[in-house]
């Protein structure tokens, strides 16, 4: 089976892709293109999957760069290919021949491109990272490489949608404590429960920091098990583990 790659014209000439789970070598609960070494999948199989992703971008696996994601707002500036061990949740570069990658399974994978400055970025933005400012920090790091907010485009890839993201009042309270206006991202659900709009929150944060060209691809990870991995779905199904989707961009 061939790889399925979701692309977006907003990212222009930058080679990129939000990869689905199709076309991978993993089996069982990981069936498909599991790219996460942090899962309990066989590491050699994960390596095969990552080789396929790199090949789709006309690169080697060594040129597919990622970080140890920890739901932070930390950003790494990448200048050379090879594995990174830093704990962070976003990467930026203006170096050609490097693909920046992030792993997700409900959180937002966000790819950035400034076609005028030749600067790219990739961010893993779950609720913690988005609330802490990982998207804004990625934009600032791109500016340090010569990018400008007026020229940066940002695309949120497959992520969990509001209809499938049920949370408790304590979760909502964390957001409202930061800004009472964030209440608008919570719809009433079951008694004492709310439905959180993670992509909507991400778009708001991007636009509020000056990124006018920002949108979500509108793919829900939870609601499409044939195409996407989902941490929340795996919990509801009481599965032992879950795969990780990969999103990547290169100049």
Whether residue 182 lies inside any domain: the answer is no
Residue 150 pLDDT exceeds 80: yes
Q: Is the pTM of this model over 0.95?
A: yes
pLDDT for residue 85: 78
Q: Domain containing 239: what range?
A: 5-161+197-250
Do 107 and 159 meet the contact criterion of CB atoms below 8 Å apart? Answer: yes
Whether residue 86 lies inside any domain: the answer is yes
pLDDT for residue 83: 79
Q: What is the CATH number of the domain that holds 13?
A: 3.60.140.10
Whether residue 73 lies inside any domain: the answer is yes
User: How do residues 220-242 score in pLDDT, each as one tens digit?
Assistant: 999 999 999 999 999 999 999 99
Whether residue 146 lies inside any domain: the answer is yes
CA 144 to each of CA 115, 138, 149, 249: distance values in angstroms, whole numbers, following the listed order: 15, 10, 11, 19
User: How do residues 157-205 score in pLDDT, each as one tens digit?
Assistant: 999 999 999 999 999 999 999 999 999 999 999 999 999 999 999 999 9
The tally of domains found in the chain comes to: 1
Whether residue 185 lies inside any domain: the answer is no
Whether residue 181 lies inside any domain: the answer is no
């Amino acid at each position: 089976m061939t790889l399925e790659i979701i692309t977006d014209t907003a990212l222009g000439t930058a080679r990129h892709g939000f990869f689905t789970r199709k076309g991978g070598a993993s089996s069982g609960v990981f069936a498909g293109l599991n790219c996460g070494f942090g899962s309990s999948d066989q590491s050699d199989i994960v390596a095969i999957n990552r080789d396929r992703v790199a090949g789709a971008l006309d690169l080697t696996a060594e040129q597919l760069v990622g970080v140890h994601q920890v739901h932070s707002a930390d950003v790494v500036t990448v200048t050379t290919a090879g594995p990174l061990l830093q704990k962070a949740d976003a990467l930026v570069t203006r170096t050609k021949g490097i693909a920046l990658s992030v792993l997700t399974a409900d959180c937002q994978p966000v790819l950035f491109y400034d076609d005028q400055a030749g600067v790219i970025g990739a961010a893993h933005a779950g609720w913690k990272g988005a609330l802490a400012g990982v998207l804004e920090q990625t934009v600032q790091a791109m500016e340090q490489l010569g990018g400008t907010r007026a020229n940066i485009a940002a695309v949120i890839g497959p992520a969990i949608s509001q209809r499938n993201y049920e949370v408790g009042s304590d979760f909502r309270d964390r957001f409202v404590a930061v800004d009472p206006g964030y209440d608008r991202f919570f719809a009433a659900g079951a008694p004492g429960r709310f439905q959180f709009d993670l992509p909507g929150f991400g778009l708001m944060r991007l636009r509020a920091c000056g990124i006018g060209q920002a949108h979500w691809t509108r793919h829900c990870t939870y609601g499409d098990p044939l195409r996407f991995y989902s941490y929340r779905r795996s919990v509801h199904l009481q599965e032992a583990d879950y795969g990780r989707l990969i999103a990547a961009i290169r100049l």
